[in-house]
Amino acid sequence: MVSTVNMLAVFGVLLAIPHLYRIASFVWLYVLRPSSVKRFLHGPKGGAYAMVTGATDGIGKATATELLRNGFNLILHGRNEAKMQKVVEELRARLPEKEDADVRYFIADASAGGHDFAKMIEPFKDLHITLVYHNVGGSDTSGLKLDERTEEDVHRMVNLNALFPLFLNRALLPYLRRNAKSGPVLVNFVGSIAGDIAPPRLAVYAASKGFLESLTRGLDNDELFFDDPTGVRYTYLAVGAVNSENHEAPMAVSLSTPTSETFARGIINRAGCGRRRVAPYWVHAVMQYFLQDVLGDGMIDEAGAAEMKSLIARSKKGE
């Protein structure tokens, strides 16, 4: 009897170890671990640069603000030049102590095809870029099914969320490898929990985010395991709901829906944490744990459908 009890106790401990490790890892990452973003402030005189796409509002704009606050020069991307110039002015006004920082930008419609990416980055190829945030992207809450969308609409969605970051990264890679000779370089693809659960009416968007996660792993493996490690690393940022002014129907701020500013601080605090996939915001990490390891697909699919119906209804009302 005692032997059986002991065996069950040992078995219970063995079952508990992975969960205890997961809890300890969570506490370390979101509570105890100091930010290591300053590790990317290396290079020649003139300082390190961070590139942020989709930087004229929402998460991109907030991330650019945090990077500037932490000592980085900036290369920002947007679609509208007047809007971009206003953002640069706002950054200067908000952080006057960073008046010596270099803030540059380029304009491109990420949803369009046919870009000359080599020409696009030509003005920046000699700059010491050590952080890249492929933030540009977006979905819609129109409620259209795939066969109700035009081919042009589908192409624009795929270009915006998958192909623009893919080909921009391709053009940047030789220069990122060069810059990694003096210290670490990190490329971040901004993803979405939608890529995990693929809610109805968002199939193309979800698939494009799933593409980015696979791309992250493949590119990271390229830089780590073929020939000598280059020092360029990749991370996929798993994003949940965020209150952002660039959404058609912004969600109300809550514990599970942080402001863009709160979320951006999470992005900066997780920089260089060594994970290929990370949820920058701790509540989203908890939510993803339940989605991936606790709830069944049926429950997730039903909840996702209900949430989409609510979002579509709110969008049509203009809320």
Domain positions in the chain: 36-317
Tell me the CB-side half-sphere exposure of residue 250, using CA atoms within 13 A: 14
Local structure of 248: helix, strand or coil: coil
pTM of the model: 0.91
Fold of 36-317: Rossmann fold (3.40.50)
Which residue type sits at 182? S
- For residue 21, the model assigns a pLDDT of 79
Local structure of 262: helix, strand or coil: helix
CB–CB of 140/201 below 8 Å?
Answer: no
Residue 135, CA distances (Å) to 90, 108, 307 in order: 19, 14, 24
CB–CB of 64/91 below 8 Å?
Answer: yes
**pLDDT beneath 50: ranges in the chain:** none
- Tokens standing for 309? 């119906």
- For residue 156, the model assigns a pLDDT of 96
- For residue 162, the model assigns a pLDDT of 97
